[in-house]
Amino acid sequence: MSNKVLILDFGSQYTQLIARRARELGFYSFIIPGTSDFKRIQEFGASAIILSGGPNSVYDQGSPRLPKEFWEYARTKNMPLLGICYGLQLFAHEMGGKVRPAPKREYGRMRVNVVTPTISKNSDMQSAVIHNPKDAHDLFHTIPHFEAWMSHGDEAEQLPQGFSLIAESASGAVAAISHGTLPWAGIQFHPEVTHTERGADILKNFLTRVAKLKPDWKMSDVIETQIESIKSQVPADAHVICALSGGVDSTVAAVLVHKALGNRLHCVFVDQGLLRYQEADRVMKMFTESLHLPVTKVDASERFLSKLAGVTDPETKRKIIGAEFIAVFDESANTLEKKIGKRPSFLVQGTLYPDVIESSPPPSASGGASSKHAHTIKSHHNVGGLPKDIKFKLIEPFRDLFKDEVRQIGKLMGVPETFIARHPFPGPGLAVRCLGEITRERLDILKLADEIYINMLREEGLYDKIWQAMAILLPVKSVGVQGDGRTHSQVLALRAVNSADGMTADFYPFDMGFLSRVATRICNEVRGVNRVTYDITSKPPGTIEWE
């Protein structure tokens, strides 16, 4: 491909979403830290550059900055630039404008009006709400106004030299600016998150109208690139072990690596005792009968549950599970060594980008998860939960991708549709849905309640309309009356969300009739539960899983 979009990362939780939107629009994209050497930026040979958001304030000492040669380079090359949030503020800070703490933090959805561009005279910014959409800047072609997702505490008080205001938020703050002669624009909102109406169109307008690029990249390119990369990463005599969890990501990763390495791949499916109702048997059948993958099942439920006994802290649970998984793979590798005469030295994992960004990412040479600034949300078992002295080299072909992109790859590689359409299930399994102490008895309650809920979603035609649904057993008891007697039993929460990629999510608006039918069945059929609640929190502020 000839068009390459470079994303300079300043630590936003959403940076990979920008890359993903560029891919969706048919552009190859690559992320490196915004503070990279100028040489690295120059050598990439970008056709357009996007500056991400970030948690810092541009006016703080030590806040991340572009290398000093950057602006002159972008100016002389006429390089199309889009600054998002912190990126816009960098324009203002570096080019004679002014950024200040906003009088009121803008967080959440906010209406943005596209305005007639008027060159700023710095402090006295003039603008007029647009009447003729033809006057809109190319960035807002056919978009006179929209609801945008804002997440910032600073704002541009004075525009940078040579820039004009092209959109403002309902509260009158600067929402977008553009340069009078250069293809440079800055936006205060996040077009990359699905909460921004027409956000993808705004990015498309930037790439195709402002930068004047033509899309020339497709998802099947990822398969070819990854197969080549796996072949060159793994020496010809090396063997590879794959941690199958029964979920879509690790399964598609296994299919991809199998294509690259054939019988040098050995899959291990670990039953950690934290799987759903009868899940272990169901997925083993699918691996062997539909996908013909070479899989060994290891029943490790006893050792996982005994390590987790008495543990209630979510991060501790995740770290224990991460370490235990690796211990099991180590032992499986030893067993394989006896069988094939060579110890596997690589471990394949179906790690996705949201796992990485929420687990405090290390800087990555591949350009993914490059931020030093993003905060830890939770240690996904396959990233932040891994022990430091891991003996395997990791192969993670989807580390820069999102769930639905992996689903597309799975489809392209012939993984059955019924499997691809399954709701995501986290590696630490029911451990992060059994809040408080994990015991076999509590897990059995959770498994049965979850099975009833998920089956009812299927029976009522709702399963495929929902991105992810689950039951959660709370560490709370409530008083109830069942039959003629008083009960003091456990409380169960139900959750269902829709999401494009797991990064943001909205709770699913069930009708009350459905919720009431599920609650009745669960209280009647699951001994030990006398109350059911429904979680109506979106992400943010909640996360999808409760732990």
Binding segment for ligand XMP among 142-150, 225-233, 360-368, 375-383 (CB under 6 A)? 375-383
Per the residue annotation, which of 137, 179, 190, 258 is the catalytic one? 190
Report if residue 545 touches ligand XMP, rule: CB under 6 A.
yes
Q: How far is CA 85 from CA 92, 112, 190, 470, in A?
A: 11, 14, 7, 34
Give me 309's structure tokens.
Answer: 């006994």
192 tagged catalytic: yes
Q: Decide whether 81 or 267 has the Cβ nearer to ligand XMP.
A: 267
Calpha distance 397→52 (Å, rounded): 24
Task: Tell the smallest beta-carbon distance from residue 251 to ligand XMP (Å).
Answer: 12
Task: Tell the smallest beta-carbon distance from residue 370 to ligand XMP (Å).
Answer: 20
Binding-residue total with ligand XMP (CB under 6 A):
17
190 tagged catalytic: yes
Give me 462's structure tokens.
Answer: 């709702």
Tokens 């008080």 identify what position?
157
Binding segment for ligand XMP among 224-232, 327-335, 336-344, 537-545 (CB under 6 A)? 537-545
Which one of 155, 168, 324, 358 is in contact with ligand XMP (CB under 6 A)? 358
Sequence-distant (≥ 6) Cβ neighbours of residue 420 within 8 angstroms? 248, 407, 410, 411
Task: Tell the smallest beta-carbon distance from residue 146 to ligand XMP (Å).
Answer: 26
Which one of 34, 54, 354, 361 is in contact with ligand XMP (CB under 6 A)? 354
Binding segment for ligand XMP among 110-118, 136-144, 352-360, 482-490 (CB under 6 A)? 352-360
Calpha distance 433→448 (Å, rounded): 13
Task: Tell the smallest beta-carbon distance from residue 340 to ligand XMP (Å).
Answer: 28
Per the residue annotation, which of 85, 242, 267, 434 is the catalytic one? 85
523 tagged catalytic: no
Per the residue annotation, which of 155, 168, 192, 547 is the catalytic one? 192
Element (DSSP H or E) covering residue 165: strand 163-169
Cα of first residue to Cα of last residue in the chain, in angstroms, is: 42
Q: Are 261 and 432 in contact (CB under 8 A)?
A: no
Report if residue 380 touches ligand XMP, rule: CB under 6 A.
yes
Task: Tell me the three-class secondary structure of 52-91, residue by residue.
Answer: CCCCCCCCCCCCCCCCCCHHHHHHHCCCCEEEECHHHHHH
Rounded (to 5) percent helix, strand, coil in the chain = 35, 25, 40
Name the nearest CA neighbour of 163 among 193, 228, 119, 117.
Answer: 119
Which one of 20, 381, 399, 433 is in contact with ligand XMP (CB under 6 A)? 381
Calpha distance 68→50 (Å, rounded): 17
Binding segment for ligand XMP among 16-24, 92-100, 413-421, 425-433 (CB under 6 A)? 425-433
What amino acid occupies position 298? V
Beta strand 529-534 with 506-507: parallel, antiparallel or unpaired?
Answer: unpaired
Element (DSSP H or E) covering residue 29: strand 28-33
Binding segment for ligand XMP among 223-231, 353-361, 363-371, 509-517 (CB under 6 A)? 353-361
Task: Tell the smallest beta-carbon distance from residue 282 to ligand XMP (Å).
Answer: 18
Report if residue 193 touches ligand XMP, rule: CB under 6 A.
no
Q: Decide whether 80 or 502 has the Cβ nearer to ligand XMP.
A: 502
Report if residue 276 touches ligand XMP, rule: CB under 6 A.
no
Task: Tell the smallest beta-carbon distance from residue 291 to ligand XMP (Å).
Answer: 19
Task: Tell the smallest beta-carbon distance from residue 494 to ligand XMP (Å).
Answer: 15
Q: Which of residues 457-496 bind ligand XMP (CB under 6 A)?
A: 468
Calpha distance 504→400 (Å, rounded): 17
Per CB under 6 A, residues contacting ligand XMP are 354-355, 358, 378, 380-382, 424, 426-428, 468, 502, 539, 543-545
Known catalytic residues are: 85, 190, 192
